[in-house]
Amino acid sequence: MSLHGLKALLFDKDGTLVHFDRTWGPAAGAVMRTLAGEDAAALRRLETVSQYLPDEERFLPTSPLVAGSSAHYGPLWADALGEAPTDAFLARIDALFSAEGLRHLTPIGRAGDTLQRLHGAGLRLSIVTNDAEANARLQAEALGFLPLLDAVHGYDSGYGSKPGPGMVRAMGERFGFSGPEMAVIGDSAHDLAAARGADALFILVRTGPAPVDDMIPLADLVLDSVDDLPEALAEAVPC
C-alpha cells in the first residue's frame, strides 16, 4: 500500500496519543483500591488478574488492560470481587476510570501540536479506541484535541471494539473514504488488525507499553511517535 492519497488518519488513543503507563498505571491502581475497599485479598486478586505491578504502578505488556476494554477485562474483575459482570458493574468501572484517568492524564510528546498540523493540512482526524467513547471525548477535550477531530469512536459506540474493523469502516462510510484512503495509527496488534480488516493502512508507533518488533514487518510505516507523522507524510507526497 502507498501513503499517497491519504485523506483520513484514525488514531488509537492510549499508547499513541496518551501515555499509557503514566496515565493508566496510577489510575488503575486507584480504581482497584476503590473497588476492593478494605478487602486486601480482593485487591491482590484484582492486581493478579490485571497483571499489574502495584509498586511500579504499571502493567505487564501481556495484561488484558493494555489493549482491551472493560468488556474484555470486566468479567475477570467481577470474578475477582465475587460479583456478576453486569452492565451496571462495567459502567461503574468505566466511571471510575474516567475520573482517575483525567486526574493522571499525560499526553505523548507534542500530540496536540501534531494533530493541529495534520488538521491544518486538510486531513480528517478521528480517535478509534477500546476506551469508552464518553471518556475518550473527555480526555480529548482536556488535551485540546476535540475541536480537531471529526469523530471519536469507542468500544461502546455501536461499531464493535478492536481488533474488529467496525470503527474504521464507520469512518469510511461516514465520509465516503475507501480503505486505502485511511490509515490507522497505533501501537498494538489490535490496531493492526482493525486497519487490515477495513483494508486501511497501518502506521505503527513505538510509544506503547508492549513490544512491537513482530509488527514492524507488517506495518506500512513505523515511527518513534506521532510527532514524526507530519514530516513522514510530507516526504511520502511527491512534489
Q: Measure CA 78 to chain center.
A: 23
Least confident among 62-71, 85-94, 143-152, 199-208: 62-71
Rounded to an integer, what distance in angstroms lies between the CA atom of residue 234 and that of residue 117? 11
Rounded to an integer, what distance in angstroms lies between the CA atom of residue 89 and that of residue 134? 17
Domain chopping of the chain, boundaries: 8-19+107-236, 21-104
CA-to-CA dists, residue 44 to 40, 79, 84, 124, 147, angstroms: 6, 13, 19, 44, 41
Residue 1 has pLDDT above 80, yes or no: no
- Amino acid, res. 107: P
CATH architecture of 8-19+107-236: 3-Layer(aba) Sandwich (3.40)
Average pLDDT, the chain: 94
Q: What is the pTM of this model?
A: 0.87
Rounded to an integer, what distance in angstroms lies between the CA atom of residue 80 and that of residue 232? 45
pLDDT in tens, 15-70: 999 999 999 999 999 999 999 999 999 999 999 999 999 999 999 989 998 877 78
Four-CA torsion 45, 69, 212, 233, nearest 10 degrees: -160
